[in-house]
Structures are given as C-alpha cells and as structure tokens.
Amino acid sequence: MNFVIFLLFVVPVFSFNVECDFDIYDTVQQGLTTPYVIRNFKSAMTKEFKSAYTFHNLNKTLHNVKVPTMLAHSYPTDIIEKTFHEYLVDNINPFLTVETDVYNDRMLLPMRFENGQRRSIIPSTIQKLHTCDYIKHLYTSVEKEYYIGSAGQGANFHKHMEIYNQVIHGEKVWFLAYKEGDISKVAGEKLLIDNLWSVMENKKIQKCKLYENDMIYVPSNVYHATLNLKPTLAAACFPWSRL
C-alpha cells in the first residue's frame, strides 16, 4: 500500500469527553508553578517546523534507520530495535482504536543511547526548525525532545523536571496527579495504568484534552501520563535552571 495514502485515512478513536482541569492562557506564564495549557499556540513553532515534522517527511529521511522503541518504565531493559518505517507500519495504523480497558504505553522516542548520553535521530534540518525561543529568556538552557505515537499509545505515569510539551500534529489527553497515592488505585506495578476507565473516573487525577498546536506546562515532580487519541507528533522543551 502506498505510504502516503496509508496516512490519509481517518483514525477512528473512542470519544473522550474530557474537560480541561487546568488554567487556560494565550501565552507562557512567567513564574507560574502550576500546570496550565496554552490553546492553539501557533507562535511557539515555525511554519517550516510544522510542515517538516510529519510522518511522511520523517519516513523519507529515516526510512531504514533503526530506532529503539521502549516501555516507558522498563527501559533500557525492554528495547526493541526496528527501522523507522517498520515502526510506522506496525503502529501508525488507520484501523487502530483507543480501547478503554487496554493501555499500550509503547511509543517511539526517536533517539539513541550513546556512551550514556541520549542522542536524537531526528534530522538536523528538522531539529534546527524546532525552537524553544518562547522560554529561552527564562532559563539558562533548554533541551529539545520529540515524541511519536499512534492512537492508544502514550507515556505512563512518571515524573521529572518541568516541561513544556506541544502537540504538533494529532490529539492527546494528559493526566496529572500530585501524589503517588492519588494514582495507586488505577496504576499497578511501576505506576502502569491498569484501566483507562478508572483513570477517567478518578477525581484526584486532573485531565485535559490537547488538540493540534496546544501546549501544556507541567511543573517539576508532578506525576503525569498521556494517551494519544490520534496518531500524534509532539515536541517538547526541557528547561534547565530558571534565571
């Protein structure tokens, strides 16, 4: 099947009627340390980046490049290497749907581990187009990352430093919790989601549905998980040390 036609199918997904539990703004909020969302934040990316960072363009450049795919909380022991094209064929499938009783947290982080360091395999021409200019004046340095996944994939509950994460193409739901105990009833060993219905119904877990161009800010050490509702390409900025 022609790859381009393959990507033009509309992906049927379960309809998540999710209200956004976070404050909504139209630009970055300096000094704010609670989660918030910026709707349709087009100015955070260049038009060139949005046009270049697509499944089709990545496949042209990375077609035969081997990339590790991993479970969010068992890497680096659970890594399956396959070519980028194989990943697309196996995962970016127009007939995949979001199942409410099954959560598949395997997504692609397009990077390699070399000498203990993470190295992105995203082409340098695309990396140069992905800027974090909207927050560079607030931090000493900013690290760029990329996330790719199909409907039903995402990242399971985990926490780390603060992050700004934007949906470039696609649609996804974010889940946030402030205490491990808040997610203990819906997460099993290593905080893996057992049942999406339980997550959706848990009042202690905050939720927000992000659409194309939307950006979320997640503060440091807040547990969070994601679920793609459509094949999704996202880009993130990890800041280091506020000025």
pLDDT tens digits along 133-147 = 999 989 999 999 999
What was the pLDDT predicted at 112? 73
Q: Are 106 and 73 in contact (CB under 8 A)?
A: no
Q: Is the pLDDT of residue 40 over 90?
A: yes
Amino acid at the residue 102: V
CA distances in angstroms from 213 to 56, 82, 148, 181, listed in the order given: 19, 29, 15, 32
CA distance 236 to 107: 15
In this prediction, residue 11 has a pLDDT band, given cuts at 50, 70 and 90, of very low
pTM reported for the whole predicted model: 0.84
Partners of residue 216 on adjacent β-strands: 37, 165
Helix H segments across 67-186? 84-91, 124-127, 133-136
* Mean of pLDDT values over 81-106: 70
CA distance 119 to 111: 5
SS3 content of the chain, % helix, strand, coil (to 5): 20, 35, 45
* Mean of pLDDT values over 90-106: 62
What was the pLDDT predicted at 241? 80
Give the burial string for 124-156 (b: 16+ CB within 10 Å, else e): eebbebbbbebbeeebeebeebbbbbbbbbbbb
What was the pLDDT predicted at 3? 34
Tens digits of per-residue pLDDT, 190-225? 556 666 777 878 888 999 999 999 999 999 999 998
> Exposed/middle/buried for 49, CB within 10 Å: 0-12, 13-18, 19+?
middle
What was the pLDDT predicted at 201? 80
What three-state secondary structure class fits 15? coil
* Mean of pLDDT values over 141-167: 89
CA distance 74 to 224: 16
Residues ≥6 apart with Cβ < 8 Å to 192? 73, 103, 105, 156, 157
Mind listing the domains of the chain with CATH numbers? 16-242 (2.60.120.650)
User: Percentage of the chain surpassing pLDDT 70?
Assistant: 77
Partners of residue 118 on adjacent β-strands: 113
* Mean of pLDDT values over 6-31: 68
* Mean of pLDDT values over 86-109: 67
CA torsion sign, 35 to 101 to 158 to 235? negative
CA distance 170 to 151: 9
* Mean of pLDDT values over 69-97: 67
Which of 2-11, 123-132, 230-239 comes out lowest in average pLDDT? 2-11
Q: Answer with the residue of higher pLDDT: 183 or 13.
A: 183
Question: Which tokens is 109 given?
Answer: 């982080």
